[in-house]
Amino acid sequence: MNELLLLAAVVLLACIFGQRLGRKLGIPTLFFFIALGMLFGSDGLLRIEFSDYEFAGHVCSAALIVIMFYGGFGTNWSAAKPVAVRSVLLSTAGVLVTAGLTGLFCHFALGMTMLEGLLAGAVLGSTDAASVFSILRSQRLNLRDGTASMLEIESGSNDPCAYMLTVIVLSLMDGGVTAGGVAYAVFAQLAYGALAGAAVALAARKVLCTQRFAEGTDAILLVAAALASYVLPALIGGNGYLGAYIAGILLGNGELPGKKALVNFFDAFNGMMQMLIFFLLGLLVFPSRLPSVFLPALAVAAFLTLAARPAAVALVLAPFGSSVRQQLVVSWAGLRGAASIVFAITAAVSPAYGDDRLFHIVFCVVLISILVQGTLLPAVARRARMIDDRDNVMKTFTDYSEETSVQFIRLEIGGGHPWLGRCIRDVATLPGMLIAAVLRGGEAIVPKGDTCLAEGDSLIVCAKEYSGADGIELDEVHITPDSRFAGRRLREADVRRDALVVLIRRAGQDVIPDGGTVIEPGDTLVLYTHG
């Protein structure tokens, strides 16, 4: 047991550091999770024997519920509304065209049977929300003409369609399916999935808005809602993934108490699920078998990227007058990912198919897609002149909020303070900063130009929040009694090269230092560094 816990800790730490390395190298971080699983797996260095497709399928399906739910929860519907119709068409008609063309290619070019080819096309029909979201966020891809929102809605909502196609093709392989049965299955998948997801979301929102919960319990309730939004439609023949996505959209874009904390929780939880699913899939695969399927996989990946996906995108977007540049970026952003591999596992354990060769082909296609398309997506967007430096891609996610883009700080006016006794109009603050309130004697005073500052006043100063992605980090240094910095003034102590002490935590108090501040034993120095 201890060995398993230690292994879990090592895996999580490796994933975290791989994530940072991936951002610096411009390589999608999800690739590192897969590679780590392969490194630990049967053919890797640790040779962990794991080949239980059914167990892996159950675990990955559960993780995919969270990813699908967060795909909806984290999408800003108001930003996506102008491109919603195009996004939905891409996630339905686009998936059908992509799957159909890929299936025909697999049949005629690779010699698969027609149904096996269509199964491969269905499994690979959808783009991966986790991969797309990760790249948009980490690379801060501010795409023009609502393209980022279009990709978020499409990638978050097209997995249900691909799953539905996978189930239908497997049913055809099993035999005994009528046209009427297929039509009803499609209706049930869409209607029951959407209705159940909406019902769960409305019920969860009502409970959250009318009941008071202990801190953190509301997040547990939302996890339960995500699971219920999948299970309930699945029990009656509906599409559980669609239900989870619809529930996420409705809950994430509604008014919820403590929503910021909920978003932070699901952001971390979703990241954990991505680590789990990609690591487990990497652990499941046998790298020794990949060379035998590499050429077929490379052919499928090339056809998907250069033919099937562009054809589907052009068919959907051209009637809306979308530019060729936008179509190029949307086509290139059609990354395959975890959902495709999970659906391939579904096929591998199905009695109607029961062959793991397709799993290894799909796995290899996903590797190529994440590594090539994911890495080159920022360059393709820049080359197509689709980057908008005046906008912020984070606006397309629900954890961005313009109304909270101002930060407040508190300044104490003590004896000897240079502003003591001066009026607000005579105080020279930094450009871009504003004194928003004066706290005096337990009351808040709205400051005017003639408001004079007295000893004991507290000033609330506001400035625009920093939200860049420039590697700015904070670090801490604890000062022990025998530290060489103890007793020295800050200007005399070269604590760390290329770092600035921005705060000193001293006896439970926060001290804003200057060059004359004496460093004392027990202090914790908070340093600004550039990672």
Give, in order, the Cα–Cα distances in Å from 234 to each of 188, 189, 276, 344, 353: 10, 8, 23, 19, 22
Closest CA to 473 of 15, 10, 23: 23
CA proximity to 317, closest of 90, 155, 517, 16: 90
pLDDT band of 403, cuts 50, 70, 90: very low
What mean pLDDT do residues 334-353 have?
Answer: 87
Average confidence (pLDDT) over 339-344: 88
pLDDT of 469 higher than 60: no
Arithmetic mean of pLDDT, 217-246: 90
Which one is predicted more confidently, 12 or 60? 60
Contact status, residue 141 vs residue 350, Cβ threshold 8 Å: no
- Token pair, residue 523, equals 């202090």
> What residues does 518 pair with on adjacent strands?
489
Instruction: Please give the single-letter amino acid code of residue 467.
Output: S
Q: How many angstroms separate the CA atoms of 314 and 302, rounded? A: 17
174 Cβ partners below 8 Å, 6+ apart?
351, 352
Q: In the prediction, which pLDDT does 530 show? A: 57
Pick the CATH number of 472-530 from 2.60.40.10, 3.40.1160.10, 3.30.70.1450, 3.30.70.890: 3.30.70.1450
Nearest CA-CA partner of 165 in 131, 106, 115: 115
pLDDT for residue 58:
86
Q: What band does 202 get if pLDDT is binned at 50, 70 and 90? A: very high
Query: For 37-46, 345-354, 447-456, 467-476, which range has the lowest pLDDT when averaged over its residues?
Result: 467-476
Phi and psi dihedrals of 46, rounded to 5?
-85, -15
For 160-193, write each residue's pLDDT tens digit: 889 889 988 998 888 767 778 778 888 888 899 9
Average confidence (pLDDT) over 322-341: 89
**Do residues 21 and 30 make contact, with C-beta atoms less than 8 angstroms apart?**
no
Do the Cβ atoms of 124 and 362 come closer than 8 Å? yes
Per-residue pLDDT at 132: 76
Cα 160 to Cα 96: distance, rounded to the nearest angstrom: 12
Average pLDDT of the chain is 82
Q: What is the pLDDT of residues 353-368, one digit of tens each?
A: 888 889 889 999 998 9
Note whether 195 and 232 are within 8 A (CB). Answer: no
The domain 405-464 is classified under which CATH number: 3.30.70.1050, 3.40.50.200, 3.30.70.1450, 3.40.50.800?
Answer: 3.30.70.1450
pLDDT at 470: 52
Distance between CA atoms of 346 and 427, rounded to whole angstroms?
A: 68
Out of 174-183, 198-207, 397-406, 467-476, least confident range: 397-406
Q: What is the Cα 64 distance to its own chain's centre?
A: 13
Q: Among 55-69, 475-489, 500-514, which range has the highest average pLDDT?
A: 55-69
pTM to 2 decimals?
0.69
Average pLDDT for residues 236-255, to the nearest whole number?
87
- Return the domain boundaries, the chain: 2-396, 405-464, 472-530
pLDDT, position 443: 80
- The token pair at 20 is 């940072």
pLDDT at 22: 65
Domain 405-464 and domain 472-530, same fold? Reply is yes
**Tokens 């159950």, residue?**
58
Q: 34-61, pLDDT tens digit by residue? A: 888 888 877 767 777 777 888 888 888 8
Per-residue confidence at 473, pLDDT binned at 50, 70, 90? low
Cα 123 vs. chain centroid, distance in angstroms? Answer: 22
Residue 135 has pLDDT above 80, yes or no: no
Question: Given this model, what pLDDT does residue 121 score?
Answer: 94
CB proximity list for 338: less than 8 A, separation 6 or greater: 30, 60, 63, 64, 67, 128, 130, 274, 277, 278, 281, 366
Architecture of domain 2-396: Up-down Bundle (1.20)
Please give the helix or strand (H or E) that residue 478 lies within, else none: strand 472-478
Rounded to an integer, what distance in angstroms lies between the CA atom of residue 443 and that of residue 456?
12
